[in-house]
Amino acid sequence: MEQQNIEQIARQVMGRIFVELEASARHVHLTQAQAKLLFGHDLTPDRPLSQPGQFLAKERVTVKGPKGAFYNVAVLGPARKEAQVEISLTDGRQLGLQPPVRPSGSVAGSPGAVLIGPCGRVELAEGVIAAQRHVHMTPGDAARMGVKDKQVVKLQVFTHRPLIFEDVLVRVSDQFATFAHLDFDEANACGYETGDLGRILP
């Protein structure tokens, strides 16, 4: 059997048991209007992300809170209907903000921040959250692993500092690729390295 076929089969077997982990660094989602205000134009893709259609933009932004700022923060595209700043609780401490732990898109009542780009600034009244740890899944993988959209599961991670995350949100869509997303507090707490795997516990 050719090497490439073996690789493919190995990947498929692994994908039936394990979920690949990814660590999300702090980043910002913007509306199209906000991107124009900050950069003078739409977001331009730099490189694709693991989720189909999502990209890291060439544009970078400053995120300012009452106690500090982060410069050169990643902006993810495409533009959304609502701005969202995803940071870790450690980041929150440095900015002087207390982001709630929320699923992506759930920003009501969260703290705001000031975004500064080369062409302008945007004052967000809300939108700063710590993303609840979550697993993006294809419908096929979800069926194979016996989980449903919005289910909360335990995720055991086989990392340098192994642990079992509880309160992990499953999100199922045919627009997704199957990856578990941790923030950097979580990634460091489990000693995550690129390529590490996890397993959804029954």
Nearest CA-CA partner of 73 in 55, 87, 89, 54: 87
Closest contact distance (angstroms) between CB of 21 and a copy of itself is 13
What is the distance between the alpha carbons of residues 157 and 135, in angstroms, rounded to a whole number?
Answer: 12
Closest contact distance (angstroms) between CB of 201 and a copy of itself is 10
Give the interface with a copy of itself as residue ranges (CB under 8 A): 88-90, 101, 133, 154, 160-167, 184-186, 188-191
Which is nearer to a copy of itself, 24 or 34 (by Cβ)? 24
What is the distance between the alpha carbons of residues 26 and 131, in angstroms, rounded to a whole number?
Answer: 10
Which is nearer to a copy of itself, 43 or 131 (by Cβ)? 131
What is the distance between the alpha carbons of residues 70 and 73, in angstroms, rounded to a whole number?
Answer: 7
Which is nearer to a copy of itself, 86 or 186 (by Cβ)? 186
Closest contact distance (angstroms) between CB of 114 and a copy of itself is 23
Closest contact distance (angstroms) between CB of 34 and a copy of itself is 28
Q: CB neighbours (10 Å) of residue 115?
A: 24
Specify burial of residue 56 (Cβ count, 10 A radius: 0-12, 13-18, 19+): middle
Which is nearer to a copy of itself, 33 or 163 (by Cβ)? 163
